Structure 1
Amino acid sequence: MVVAMLDGYDTQVIALVAPVLGPEWNLDSSAFGPVFAAGLFGLMLGSIAFGGVADRYGRKPVICAACLAFGLLALLTPLSSSPLELAAFRFFTGIGLGAAIPNLMTLTAEHAPGKRRALAAGAMFCGFPLGALLGGLAAPGLIAIGGWQGLFILGGVLPIIMVLPLLLFLAESPEWRGRTEKADREIIRLRSLFGGTLAIVTPLLWLAFIANLLVMYFLINWLPILFAADGADLGRSTMTSVLLNLGGIGGCLGVTPLVDRFGALKVMPLIFGATALAILAIGVIPAGSSIMIIAILMAGFGTMGAQMGCNAFAMFIYPAAWRASGLGWALSIGRIGSVAGPLLGGLLLALHFEPSELFLVIGPIAMVPGLLFIAIKRIALRQKQRTNAFSA
């Protein structure tokens, strides 16, 4: 969980410094769209490249190397003096982050009992919003002491410190160690993920990942800066990040037990529907009201909790030999959405949309994954031979 916390902190930190960097560099808010997207594009490439590498060489070495890489690159980020340089550092940091996330979830799930894998992965991934939440709480103080650079320095030093404990104490996946056939340790080919019913399920699942990650990373990256653009001070704008990630922690812990008990195909459409309503509410509720706090908490609960449900479903439908690759590919293709979300926010601002109007555009997109899970459920029900993959 500690590594996931560091991962969450380093992913969130760019959104926390944007309200400070904008005035300092004389940038319009819309200029941060490409910077946000660069880091998330790196996440996409990291997930693609290192899921298969972990299936061949093990989860532990990839996690350790990823932690060292994104720590070093975060530590170098304060050298940036322009949006282009900042985007470049975020891109390479993103590759390290992308290598860590799917392998952390896969390793955790493979250590857990079969009926509790979704809950175990959800509990581990709570570290992601927890790290982002702690970053949001610390941001005003750290910026006051060391400027925006202080957030990146902290986000670089801590992962580097963690590498040695990971090498010494992190246990390799028992399922990965137990494989004996040479073929199992070959890089998994993409076509393996499209056999039988997966030929239909995998593309629909990828589309669900794209839509939810678009919404999730739109909120992670734009929520603080949109509230700042509406007149909120640094403390209030960063507090939106705290609320979002606090809701995300609840979602990671709350959704995965429901998935374990009732199945992702029953639970996920309901979660996505509630998430869409919460995001629409953010766009119409007065910023200072207590209902706004509830709406942001629910948006975090829904987007991050639903993502854990999607991740769990992806882990359940693929066999152990393909699991990291299957989840890695789903997250990687989903990163198209995580890149598009920040870019869409920047585009809408450039087109002179009001900050509140952006949520009215994003809200309906949050419902799309729910419709896709309904389609997957109908396909599953039509199969003559039911498998455990669809009891997830």
Structure 2
Amino acid sequence: MSTLHASARSPRAVLRADEVVAALPWRWRTQGTIFLIGGLGFMFDAWDVALNGFLIPLLSDEWGLSVGQAAWIATANLIGMALGAFVWGGIADRIGRKKAFTLTILVFSLFTVLGAFSPNLALFVVFRFVAGFGLGGCIPVDYALVGEFTPAKHRGRVLTAMDGWWPIGATACAFVSAWIVGLGGSWRHTMLVMVIPALLVFAVRLGIPESPMWLAARGRHAEADAVIRRLVERTGADIDTWTHEGVRTIEVRAGFAERFQAATGQLVELWRFSSKVTATAWLLFVSVLLLYYAALTWLPKILREQGLGDQAAFLVTGQMTAVGIAGVVACALLVEFTGRKWMLGGSAVLAAAALVGFALALEHSGAELTLAAKVGILGFGFLIQMSIPALYTYVSELYPTRLRGSGFGWASSASRVATGIAPVVFGSFMWPYFGLVWTFVLIGGLVVVAALVMTVATKETTGTELE
């Protein structure tokens, strides 16, 4: 048992070490600082994904790439992120949240710099894959670290608020890229500039303490006590003793084969729990995020084909992502009133309709976009960012506690693979053969199917007690 200081108060139940962290009051200068730093990591995830869309037209010009060849710029990066999301979770369990937290950004920064000096597409694709692998670990590691420092009664809101960093990152990427192009900079400069804030975050992360929950679960009680003692003092909590008895230990798998076996067992358990829930969760994740990534990745190239200059195309893309910040806020304010299913299904279907409307209006626009085209793409940006937070919330609530993390993780992994393959399919096949309107109709149709399946296959979770 550890003691912060002697107390003359009446005896009370002694908390476990992990329960102390969960019971602390929220303080912006303590847990809030970790939330902000973790959020910046999530922001760079969005920045890197959005950057693919701006690199495609710039590299296509410099290296004379076809649409199909240019698609590999995004595909390599997204597939790397998908692999990183799977691998880094296990690394974080083995070496700790803090070390994994810093290494993800370090790998991303190093290979982004190398990518900026690539002489050809083949080498560039390799570097983008490895950079994506590093940054792909940010989401699971960031969420783990922020969640393990956040008091229990604030955890849901704090982790939901992490979603708000995504449109901020995508918007920052768009406007910074437009600014660089406007100054006569190249695609190499757009990559190098984004490394500067990433390195700043890496430097700040060196001062973050290791997760006391991870330390306690690994049996490093003295180190855990030191972190907990500091948290108690900084938050002014009325807690003076705690125990490590009963703290659940982390089972660290010895290697990739063991982790793969464990992951396969999780997958079987998810489908055994409910094939309807799991199939619906995967369908929702794949369809909604496929719609979003199709627009985010290809909009700058689409606008360039329409006759807009690089800077103008980047600014329109930035406006689309910026209005998404308001969409996240609207979802947070309305989701308890509308219900999860109505918010998710309604906003996703309307977002698909807005994107199709944009493509139709684009046929009657020139280099100066018509009002209908502008309303369509901005409406899409707002609506899709209403649907994504609702998607994350709803899917996590469909599973009981023992399966919630793996259920969400596998659905997210399915979408990562789908969105990783999608740029090549979109650029090499769908857009050239079907045209833009029918391409978005087909993707939007998948969203409608997913919404209909959700309507009949899964329950509403708003206001219900989690299992």
Calculate the TM-score normalised by the size of structure 2.
Answer: 0.73
Q: Which of 99, 106, 119 is the aligned partner of 1:81?
A: 119
* Aligned match of 1:388: 466
Distance of 1:43 and 1:372 partners within structure 2: 28
Moved more, 363-372 or 105-114: 105-114
Which residue of the partner structure matches residue 159 of structure 1?
A: 198
For residue 232 of structure 1, give the secondary structure of its aligned residue in structure 2. Answer: coil
Q: CA deviation at 1:269?
A: 1.2
| 1:150–1:312 Cα change, 3 Å | same
What residue in structure 2 maps to residue 277 of structure 1? 353
The code of the aligned residue for 1:359 comes to F
Shift of residue 369, structure 1, vs aligned partner = 3.2
State the Cα distance separating 1:325 from its structure 2 match: 4.4
* AA aligned opposite 2:75: A
CA contact (8 A) 2:45 2:136 kept: no
- 1:94-150 CA distance string (max 9 Å, x none): 112221123334544555566765543342222222122112112133234441101
Give 1:130's match in structure 2, choosing from 168, 173, 183: 168
More helix by share: 1
- Letter paired with 1:351: P
Q: CA deviation at 1:72?
A: 1.3
Alpha-carbon distance in 2 for matches of 1:173, 1:365: 43
Determine which structure has more spread, i.e. the larger CA radius of gyration.
Answer: 2
Question: What's the CA shift for 1:333?
Answer: 1.5
Letter in 2 for 1:204: T
Give the equivalent residue in structure 1 for 2:415.
334
Given that 2:42 and 2:165 are in contact with CA atoms closer than 8 Å, whether structure 1 keeps it comes out as yes
Q: Is the 8 A contact 1:75 1:157 kept in 2?
A: no
Indicate how the Cα distance of structure 1 residues 201 and 62 shifts in structure 2: closer, same or farther if over 3 A, else same.
Answer: farther
List gaps (5 residues or longer) in structure 2.
1-38, 218-245, 254-258
TM-score norm. by structure 1 comes to 0.85
Q: Distance in 2 between matches of 1:353 and 1:139?
A: 30
Task: Say if 1:217 and 1:54 are closer, same or farther in 2 by CA, change over 3 A.
Answer: same
SS in structure 2 of the partner of residue 168 of structure 1: coil
State which drifts further: 369-378 or 9-18: 369-378
Q: Which residue of 1 aligns with 2:446?
A: 365
Q: Report matched runs for 1:303-342 at 5 Å.
A: 303-317=384-398, 324-342=405-423
Q: Percent identity?
A: 24
Structure 1 position 290 matched with structure 2 position 371: yes
**Alignment match, 1:26:** 64
Q: Summarize the alignment of residues 1-392 of structure 1 with structure 2, pairs less than 5 Å apart.
A: 1-54=39-92, 58-108=96-146, 117=155, 119-143=157-181, 144-169=183-208, 172=211, 180-182=247-249, 189-192=263-266, 194=269, 197-260=273-336, 263-286=339-362, 287=365, 288-317=369-398, 324-348=405-429, 351-378=432-459, 388-389=466-467
Q: Secondary structure at the match of 1:294?
A: helix
**In 2, are the aligned partners of 1:279 and 1:299 still within 8 Å (CA)?**
yes
The verdict on how the C-alpha distance between 1:215 and 1:341 changes in structure 2, with shifts beyond 3 A counting, is farther
Does the CA-based 8 Å contact 2:164-2:325 persist in structure 1? yes
Deviation at 1:174, TM superposition (A): 5.6
Letter in 2 for 1:147: S
* Contact 1:43 1:332 (C-alpha < 8 Å) held by counterparts: no
Contact 2:345 2:387 in 1 (8 A): no
**1:294 to partner: Cα distance:** 2.6
CA distance in 1, matches of 2:391, 2:384: 10
CA contact 1:279–1:295 (8 Å) conserved in 2: yes
Separation (CA, whole Å) in 1 of partners of 2:451 and 2:444: 13
Q: Which structure has more RCO (C-alpha within 8 Å, separation ≥ 6)?
A: 1
Alpha-carbon distance, 1:348 to partner: 3.5
How many residue pairs get aligned? The number is: 385
Give 3-state SS (helix, strand or coil) of 2:206's partner. Answer: helix
Give the partner amino acid of 2:386: G
Q: CA deviation at 1:89?
A: 1.5
1:302 counterpart letter in structure 2:
L
Deviations, residues 243-297 of structure 1 (Å, cap 9, x unaligned): 2211322232222444455542342111212112111111112441233223222
Measure, in 1, the Cα distance between the counterparts of 2:461 and 2:397: 14
- Distance in 1, matches of 2:346 and 2:212, equals 33
Shift of 1:355: 3.8
Paired with 1:116 and 1:68, the residues of 2 have a C-alpha distance of 30
* Structure 1 counterpart SS, 2:194: helix
